[in-house]
A and B are shown apart, each in its own frame.
Chain A
């Protein structure tokens, strides 16, 4: 048994209370410990990523045999997700420290580590009730991070976010109750095994549970019609937290992919084809909502939040096909869109810190206008999906995988028109923010449009302040350059996702064949 599998959960779980109780009055120490812990976490995730290349590895908590105890399962998908999470977390954390966000409220680092614990646990667990528990851990930490440093709009958006997620958690529990009462198990592999024997006519409760779970995960993934919380939350969250939340929507996407391939996957008579039928139109409408929102947004953070919504729509269109080629494309696009969204949010933080607020109006050019314009241009290209960055390859793969006659017309037009509208929205925002600004002299600050003072207080961002944004954009470039090897790895991941028997046998041992 490989004990490193539980390390990504244990390390932040032990570090967070120490950060919260012992180091709360010593900011330099807390920063050092938090960054060191996250680097260690990334190293562990990298090690797990390397070892996960073979069959799924199982960690039996307390060494209880599989269907009775809780298991953690490390396969290629969960290893990839944990690695993406830790890389993103390190970049966000460095940004939060260099910009001083972590000092604007209490317990940022402790909450940040608890958040990492919840996310990595949700990716690793092989038990569906345990998935609920890790969801709650990551949610309760995210409530704290969401309202970090306070303020009226942020508290109100935070309240809305807490309420919507509590309602979602209740639905999750209802789904688990239905699932347990019909099958008598909560282990994912065991569920997959038992659902095979349930005939269609007795599967009504299973279908109810599957739909309830899909609604819960769609809520996390911000799919239409439960996408309404995302723009308000992301636009009002502190920018580094919004960048970290880029992985939170992917937790929902991961859960849909995992549950609806493994438990309610192909070959289960009771729920065959149900997920794709509902997910596909929801994802198409999500793309439309995201694109229209990008075009109509009057605030920079809201603009980025809507572009995240559009990218989730594109991702879920690919997932809803539940075919190997589309899943590979979805995973590539998932990695890309996580970093693209994070890059935009971190950059927006640097830009808005030098302006009065994040409204999309021209104010006199701030320091380093050209540099920020170039970075925004690069990140927006990545997000909108234009060459040469990885968004283009991701969307190309998604389109290429969706060639079924019934879905092709809808999927292609939604993704392509959505991209075009997003490009227009970003181009308009960029030209307002950076280009028109150069036409306004600082002396004209008394004019009717420009109510803001030229932000003299803002100092030019140093190398440390820009490091995270530049690294994130560089990661997008690396994703493009190494697209070939990555897609090779993802092909193996997809093969493993659709190999249900392999997963079941790994978790339940040799009895899995019976």
Chain B
């Protein structure tokens, strides 16, 4: 199971980084979403992997339990990344509608056309 979890985190991270480096709004949003999935699975695994164990100490003798703190952390991280993705979509949409272009980098050349001097800052 460790191998499956570790390789899925790796695959999600790699795909996320590749998509972010495309520097287009849509693929960057997808890439950040994949990256946040990867980090959520990773955080979940940071409390050690366990199957069929309760996240609380049982008063009835059962000694083994799974660490509840990473679950709380993941929950917080999911909420935050979900909100952030929503904000990102809105900003990307506004940016696209304003400039008719979905590139992430800045149109430096256009600015300098105004001055008529060519080279960028």
Binding partners A and B:
yes
Q: Is the CB of A147 within 8 A of B32?
A: no
Q: Is the CB of B73 within 8 A of A129?
A: yes
Residues in B neighbouring A162, C-beta threshold 8 A: 84, 87-88, 91
Q: Is the CB of A173 within 8 A of B39?
A: yes
Q: Is the CB of B69 within 8 A of A150?
A: no
Q: Is the CB of A158 within 8 A of B95?
A: yes
Q: Is the CB of A136 within 8 A of B73?
A: no
Query: How many chain B residues touch A (Cβ–Cβ < 8 Å)?
Result: 41
Shortest Cβ distance from A68 into chain B, in angstroms?
9
With A140-B87, A163-B20, A180-B47 known as contacts, the answer to whether A170 contacts B35 (CB < 8 A) is yes
Residues in B neighbouring A159, C-beta threshold 8 A: 25, 88, 91-92, 95, 104
In the complex formed, the residue of B with least CB distance to A359 is B115
> Does B114 lie at the interface of the complex (its beta carbon under 8 Å from any beta carbon of A)?
yes
The proximity string for B residues 91-121 relative to A, scoring 1 for CB distances below 8 Å and 0 otherwise, is: 1101100110000111100011011010001
With A162-B88, A166-B84 known as contacts, the answer to whether A156 contacts B99 (CB < 8 A) is yes
> Does A176 lie at the interface of the complex (its beta carbon under 8 Å from any beta carbon of B)?
yes
Alpha-carbon distance A298/B42, docked complex (angstroms): 45
Residues in A neighbouring B80, C-beta threshold 8 A: 133, 136, 169
> Does A167 lie at the interface of the complex (its beta carbon under 8 Å from any beta carbon of B)?
yes
> Does B15 lie at the interface of the complex (its beta carbon under 8 Å from any beta carbon of A)?
no
> Does A151 lie at the interface of the complex (its beta carbon under 8 Å from any beta carbon of B)?
yes
Question: A134-153: which residues lie under 8 A (CB-CB) from chain B?
Answer: 136, 140, 143, 147, 150-153
Q: Is the CB of B91 within 8 A of A153?
A: no
> Does A391 lie at the interface of the complex (its beta carbon under 8 Å from any beta carbon of B)?
no
Residues in B neighbouring A352, C-beta threshold 8 A: none
Residues in B neighbouring A298, C-beta threshold 8 A: 112, 115, 117, 121
The proximity string for A residues 165-191 relative to B, scoring 1 for CB distances below 8 Å and 0 otherwise, is: 011011001101110110000100000
Alpha-carbon distance A348/B69, docked complex (angstroms): 48
Q: Is the CB of A140 within 8 A of B83?
A: yes
Alpha-carbon distance A158/B90, docked complex (angstroms): 11
Q: Is the CB of B42 within 8 A of A150?
A: no
Residues in B neighbouring A163, C-beta threshold 8 A: 20, 28, 32, 88, 104
In the complex formed, the residue of B with least CB distance to A164 is B104
Residues in B neighbouring A509, C-beta threshold 8 A: none
Q: Sort chain A's interface into a size bin.
A: 35 or more
Residues in B neighbouring A136, C-beta threshold 8 A: 80, 84
Alpha-carbon distance A136/B91, docked complex (angstroms): 16
Shortest Cβ distance from B7 into chain A, in angstroms?
16
Alpha-carbon distance A177/B73, docked complex (angstroms): 9
Q: Is the CB of B104 within 8 A of A160?
A: yes
In the complex formed, the residue of B with least CB distance to A155 is B95
> Does B64 lie at the interface of the complex (its beta carbon under 8 Å from any beta carbon of A)?
no
Q: Is the CB of B115 within 8 A of A180?
A: no
Q: Is the CB of B43 within 8 A of A143?
A: no
> Does A232 lie at the interface of the complex (its beta carbon under 8 Å from any beta carbon of B)?
yes
Shortest Cβ distance from B71 into chain A, in angstroms?
12
Question: B38-79: which residues lie under 8 A (CB-CB) from chain A?
Answer: 38-39, 42-43, 45-48, 69-70, 73, 76-77
Residues in A neighbouring B48, C-beta threshold 8 A: 181
Q: Is the CB of A232 within 8 A of B114?
A: no
With A133-B80, A180-B73, A298-B112 known as contacts, the answer to whether A155 contacts B91 (CB < 8 A) is yes
Alpha-carbon distance A270/B23, docked complex (angstroms): 37
The one of B46, B84, B98, B114 in contact with A151, judged by C-beta atoms closer than 8 angstroms, is B98
Residues in B neighbouring A466, C-beta threshold 8 A: none
Alpha-carbon distance A485/B40, docked complex (angstroms): 48
The one of B73, B111, B121 in contact with A176, judged by C-beta atoms closer than 8 angstroms, is B73
Q: Is the CB of B114 within 8 A of A299?
A: no
Residues in B neighbouring A181, C-beta threshold 8 A: 45-48
The one of B83, B94, B114, B121 in contact with A296, judged by C-beta atoms closer than 8 angstroms, is B121
With A136-B84, A166-B88, A177-B39 known as contacts, the answer to whether A359 contacts B121 (CB < 8 A) is no
The proximity string for A residues 230-273 relative to B, scoring 1 for CB distances below 8 Å and 0 otherwise, is: 01100000000000000000000000000000000000000000
Question: A293-311: which residues lie under 8 A (CB-CB) from chain B?
Answer: 293, 296-299, 302
With A136-B84, A361-B115 known as contacts, the answer to whether A174 contacts B107 (CB < 8 A) is no
Shortest Cβ distance from A12 into chain B, in angstroms?
18
Residues in A neighbouring B45, C-beta threshold 8 A: 177, 181
Alpha-carbon distance A155/B92, docked complex (angstroms): 8
- Give 18 pairs: A residue, B residue, CB < 8 Å, sorted on A: A129-B73, A136-B84, A147-B91, A156-B106, A159-B92, A159-B104, A160-B104, A162-B84, A162-B87, A163-B20, A166-B32, A176-B43, A180-B43, A181-B47, A231-B121, A232-B106, A299-B111, A361-B115
Give 4 A-B pairs besides A156-B106, A180-B70 with Cβ atoms closer than 8 angstroms.
A143-B87, A151-B98, A170-B38, A361-B115
Q: What are the 9 A-B residue pairs with the smallest beta carbon separation, nearest first?
A: A181-B46, A155-B95, A177-B46, A159-B95, A152-B98, A173-B39, A177-B43, A152-B99, A155-B98
